[in-house]
Structure 1
Amino acid sequence: MEEKLVRKMIANCLKQYYGEELQPLGESDVKEICTQVYRLKESEPEAYLHDIINDVVYEFLTG
């Protein structure tokens, strides 16, 4: 899975919560989200990447 694509999808997902502001998360937060996305995709290969990213970002923000 290409990290650049995952990062772009995360940024687009964050727009739902923060609008067109600059990315509200730091680099370490984005890396943590990417790691969680990769883990979930490995454990659930049939799941849609878009759904996984939405779930991980939501869980991260609501914490």
Structure 2
Amino acid sequence: MEKKLIKKMILNCFKQYYEAESMPISDKDLEELTIRIFQLKEEEPTANLFEVVNDAVYEFLTG
């Protein structure tokens, strides 16, 4: 998987919850979330990437 793709997917997922100008994620949080998604995919390689990203973003927002 490519890191750039994952970051883009994360930001697109955030757009469901916030307008582009008011996204509540810093560069550090974005990097940590990207790493978390890579870890989740390693643990469950057959998991759907789109679902993993959505779940991780939801967990980030509600956690």
The gaps in structure 1 that reach 5 residues or longer are none
> How well do the aligned residues superpose, as a CA RMSD in angstroms?
1.1
Q: Do residues 19 (structure 1) and 19 (structure 2) align? A: yes
Q: Number of residues paired by the alignment?
A: 63
Runs of 4+ deviating beyond 6 Å:
none
Q: Percent identity?
A: 52
Q: Partners in 2 of 1:23 and 1:34 — Cα distance?
A: 16
The gaps in structure 2 that reach 5 residues or longer are none
* TM-score normalized by the length of structure 1: 0.92
* TM-score normalized by the length of structure 2: 0.92
- Report the CA distance between 1:41 and its aligned residue: 0.2
Q: Do residues 42 (structure 1) and 42 (structure 2) align? A: yes
SS of corresponding position for 1:16: coil
